[in-house]
Amino acid sequence: MSKVTVVGAGKYGSTTAQRIAEADVVDEVVMTDIVEGLPQGLALDMNQSRPVVGHRTKITGTNDYADTAGSDVVVITAGLPRKPGMSRMDLLEVNAGIVKQVTEAIVEHSPDAVLIVVTNPLDQMTTLAAEVSGFPRQRVLGQAGILDSSRFAHFISEATGADIQSVSAVTLGSHGDTMVPVPSQCRVGEQLLSEVLDAATIDELVDRTRKGGAEIVGLLKTGSAYYAPSAAAAAMAIAVVEDSGEQMPVCAWVDGEYGISGVYLGVMGELGSAGVRSVVELDLTEDELEALGGAATAVKEKVEDLRQIEL
Ligand code: APR
């Protein structure tokens, strides 16, 4: 009996639950939220789509953590998006309170779960969930790298006209400013990205990728992206449930790899039932290594902000 819980039944959480359910690889997906009726209504709607879509996974909506008990994987999406007038620290404070409370409730009912954090600001929230849970660091990871890599791949495909499925792109580091694109690992078909696009065009695409979330927020006016983000979170959850050993860029605990230690950072991870089986060290150029080291320093500084908050 395999079970995945998604905490937060907003746009990101509900589409993640839907994607995992439609993959038909677990027995049950539980959605929970503080808003009464919301997860129940969405679950009923999703369950009624099963005859058409053709999957068996049952979806449960609840406001009670008892229903999440014994989950193999828990995806934490609960949190607020940044609102006008809110500083970065304000958002950090609000979401840190939510993630702490959610993590405590999850740990009580699913002490063996793998935690996948997507709530922003991602690096701090993943660090916080790891600390509050007391779980081995390998069992707590965050989602950012798959999304950024996927956005980068989309822009490369648009710029080159290449089939989207022939493009492989990799970004490491962190979300936003300290995202580290890894052109040496990007391919269009059999060719290196640098053989297909000039450096200036690659830089433009990298910049657009870095600001990928903001571009969508600007168009939507309210709310933020959730189709690509939920695809990324669902892929991670499924890799864990299936113990697949797939390699994906994820926010994982780095302990000596690339000469970096003691930080949650976007790296290539091999995923399995215990979370991150191992951090896979890619053959990076000197520039890419330096950028990754810079990202680690930036994340460590941001994590210090967490220490200023009373939780
Ligand atoms: N416990 C459970 N659910 C909660 C809690 C809590 N303590 N606090 C808030 N929520 C729920 C809200 O009720 C809401 O349904 O989290 C959900 C958030 O949904 P949306 O506002 O639609 O936000 P969404 O787009 O899903 O993004 C969620 O992911 O990408 C990040 O920055 C984004 O941190 C945000 C998160």
Q: Give the Cα-Cα-Cα angle 267, 270, 274 (nearest 5 degrees).
A: 115
Ligand 1 contact, 77 CB (< 6 A): yes
Q: Set out the domains of the chain in order of their start, with CATH numbers.
A: 3-142 (3.40.50.720), 145-307 (3.90.110.10)
Task: Find the distance separating the first CA and the last CA of the chain, reported in whole Å.
Answer: 35
Distance of alpha carbon 230 from alpha carbon 290, whole angstroms: 30
- How far, in Å, CA of 168 to CA of 151, rounded? 11
94 burial level (CB within 10 Å; 0-12, 13-18, 19+): middle
The per-residue pLDDT for range 258-298, each reduced to its tens digit, is 999 999 999 999 999 999 999 999 999 999 999 999 999 99
pLDDT value at position 207? Answer: 94
159's CB contacts (< 8 A; 6+ apart) are 197, 201, 205
Q: Is 34 in the pocket of ligand 1 (CB under 6 A)?
A: yes
Q: Is the pLDDT of residue 244 over 80?
A: yes
3-state class (DSSP) for residue 161: coil
What proportion of the chain, given as a percentage, has pLDDT over 70?
100
Separation of CA 11 and ligand 1 centre (Å) = 8
Whether pLDDT at 177 is above 90: no
Lowest pLDDT segment from 90-99, 229-238, 273-282: 90-99
Distance of alpha carbon 241 from its chain centroid, rounded? 16
Question: Is 189's C-beta closer than 6 angstroms to any atom of ligand 1?
Answer: no
Looking at ligand 1, which residue's alpha carbon is closest to its atom 34?
Answer: 119
Q: What is the pLDDT of residues 106-119, one digit of tens each?
A: 999 999 999 999 99
Q: What share of the chain is helix, strand, coil (3-state, %, to 5)?
A: 50, 20, 30
| Helix intervals (H) in 59-144 | 88-109, 122-133
pLDDT tens profile 7-23: 999 999 999 999 999 99
261 versus 309: the higher-pLDDT residue is: 261
Kindly give the number of the ligand 1 atom that is closest to the alpha carbon of 38: 15
Tell me if 223 CB under 6 Å of ligand 1.
Answer: yes
The band of 43, judged by pLDDT with boundaries at 50, 70 and 90, is: very high
CB 1 within 8 A of CB 72: no
* pTM greater than the 0.95 cutoff: yes
- The pLDDT of residue 133 is 98
The C-alpha atoms of residue 162 and residue 140 are separated, in whole angstroms, by: 36
pLDDT of residue 91: 85
CA distances from 293 to 37, 130, 254, 256, 287 (A): 45, 22, 11, 12, 10
- With bands split at pLDDT 50, 70 and 90, how would you rate the model's confidence at 83? confident
- Tell me, what's the pLDDT at 293? 97
pLDDT of residue 86: 72
Averaged pLDDT, 223-235: 96
> What torsion, rounded to 10 degrees, do the Cα atoms 200, 204, 209, 215 define?
180
Sign of the dihedral defined by the CA atoms of residues 53, 57, 60, 61, in that order? negative
For ligand 1, is residue 107 a contact (CB within 6 Å)?
A: no
Residue of 6, 12, 122 to test ligand 1 pocket, by largest number of atoms within 8 Å of CB: 12
Model confidence pLDDT, tens digit, residues 164-176:
999 999 999 998 7
Mutate to test the pocket of ligand 1, among 77, 94, 101, 119 (most ligand atoms within 8 A of CB): 77
Pairing of strands 171-173, 179-181: antiparallel
- Residues marked active site are found at 175
* Structure tokens belonging to residue 35: 């808003």
pLDDT number for residue 89: 78
Q: What does residue 114 show for φ and ψ, rounded to 5 degrees?
A: -95, 130
What lies within 8 Å, CB to CB, of 286 at 6+ separation is: none
Determine the distance separating the centroid of ligand 1 and the alpha carbon of 64, expressed in angstroms: 16
Distance CA 23, CA 59 (A): 12
Q: Which of 228, 88, 231, 85 is CA-nearest to residue 155?
A: 228
310: number of Cβ within 10 Å: 6
Ligand 1 test: best mutation among 18, 19, 31, 33, most atoms within 8 Å of CB?
33
What phi and psi, each to the nearest 5 degrees, are found at residue 54? 95, 30
The arithmetic mean of pLDDT across residues 49-56, rounded, is 98
In this structure, which residue's CA is closest to atom 29 in ligand 1?
A: 119
79 lines ligand 1 (CB under 6 A): yes
